[in-house]
Amino acid sequence: MQVEQQYGSKGLGLLTRESGLFLKNSFGSLFSREFIKVLIPLLVLWEVIPRFDILPRTLAPTLSDVALAFWDMVVNKGLFLHILYSLAKFLAGLLIAVLTAIPIGIFMGWNLSIRKHALPLFQMLAPIPPPAWVPLTIIIFGIGLPMQIFLIFLGAFYPILFNTYQAIKDTDPRYLSSARVFGASELTLICNIYFWNALGAIIMSVKTGVAIALVMLVIAEMYGGRSGIGYLLVEAKDFFQIPAMVVCMLVLGIIGWFSIELLKFAELKLALWKVGR
């Protein structure tokens, strides 16, 4: 009853409250009293040190240089559009990885025969560092969107696959037995027992996947294409625009942080049953 009251209100109000809650939970730490005490001196030092030539200003841009570069990129280079491109590729690659790795992981964890047929293949391919795939991928897909999305997918695929598989395999047999006694079919077990039992681990694995996919996003964009943050980064390097490079790096950091926090929030919402354990 209480739960219903809490989540009962519909629509816009709910959305604003949930997103407010999300922002507060995730990024509130940035503005906590404790961190402000660290943040402000840091920003001041950042501004001051290059100005007094303790570090050469050409190599270490000040805060205001970076801010100006940011504004310049927004106005002249369409920074936000590039961010959007990067995000779209990132999400596409991640989504494909999630949609393939989770089912394969579930089937491998569920059935011994499937596991024995499929697992060695993945065990052999997984240790290849994803960046090592770049040359082959470029030859096969050419330079462009498919190659970039494939590389991002590759980064996220294996961590999700292996963690999902492991979690499914380790499902407590008593949960399975107590459903089987009542006549559950294997399909029901997969949908109602295995999956939910492993959900926490699956979300964890997507977090790992996000981290590696982000690495692959930058690599993919640096190697080819004319869009995205990675592309801006390489361009800035070619023209020796250090402030622009710093802007790109910060943007990437924020994308990573944001996606991890989004997953944590999803975990909190989905795994309601674990709260208070």
Partner 1 sequence: MEGGKMIEARRISKFFSIVNKDGIAEGLTACMSVTLSIEKGKIITLLGPSGCGKSTFLEILAGLQAPTEGEVYIDGVRVLEPLPSTRAEMETYRKKYRFLSPLANDLFRDRPKHDIAMIFQDYAVFPWMTVLQNVTFTLKLRGLPRSEREKQALFYLNKVGLGASVNKYPSQLSGGMRQRLAFARALSVEPKAILMDEPFAAVDVLTREHLQDDLLKLWESSGITIVMVTHDVAEATYLSDEIIIFSPSPGTIRNRFKIDVPRPRRRDDPDLADIEVRISKLLKYDVDNECEYSI
Which residues would be at the binding site for partner 1 (CB under 8 A)? 1-4, 172, 174-175, 177-188, 192-193, 196-197, 199, 271-277
Q: Which C-beta is closer to partner 1: that of 171 or that of 241? A: 171
Query: How wide is the angle at C-alpha 15 spanned by C-alphas 14 and 16, nearest 5°?
Result: 95
Q: Give the tokens for residue 183.
A: 């006549």
Q: Which C-beta is closer to partner 1: that of 33 or that of 277? A: 277
Q: How far is the CB of 173 from partner 1 (least distance, A)?
A: 9
The C-alpha atoms of residue 220 and residue 182 are separated, in whole angstroms, by 51
Amino acid, res. 71: W
Q: How far is the CB of 170 from partner 1 (least distance, A)?
A: 15
Which residue in this structure is represented by tokens 């040359």? 135
The C-alpha atoms of residue 199 and residue 62 are separated, in whole angstroms, by 45
The C-alpha atoms of residue 221 and residue 155 are separated, in whole angstroms, by 14
Q: Which C-beta is closer to partner 1: that of 180 or that of 264? A: 180
Q: Which C-beta is closer to partner 1: that of 13 or that of 276? A: 276
Q: How far is the CB of 68 from partner 1 (least distance, A)?
A: 51
b/e code 46-72 from CB counts within 10 Å (16+ = b): beeebeeeeeeeeeebbbebbeebbee
- Whether the Cβ atoms of residue 252 and residue 207 lie closer than 8 Å to each other: no
The C-alpha atoms of residue 118 and residue 109 are separated, in whole angstroms, by 11
Q: Which C-beta is closer to partner 1: that of 57 or that of 180? A: 180
Q: What is the rounded radius of gyration, in angstroms, for the C-alpha atoms of the chain?
A: 23
- Whether the Cβ atoms of residue 98 and residue 160 lie closer than 8 Å to each other: yes
Q: Which C-beta is closer to partner 1: that of 18 or that of 186? A: 186
Q: How many CB atoms lie within 10 A of CB 37?
A: 10
The C-alpha atoms of residue 226 and residue 247 are separated, in whole angstroms, by 18
Q: Which C-beta is closer to partner 1: that of 123 or that of 192? A: 192
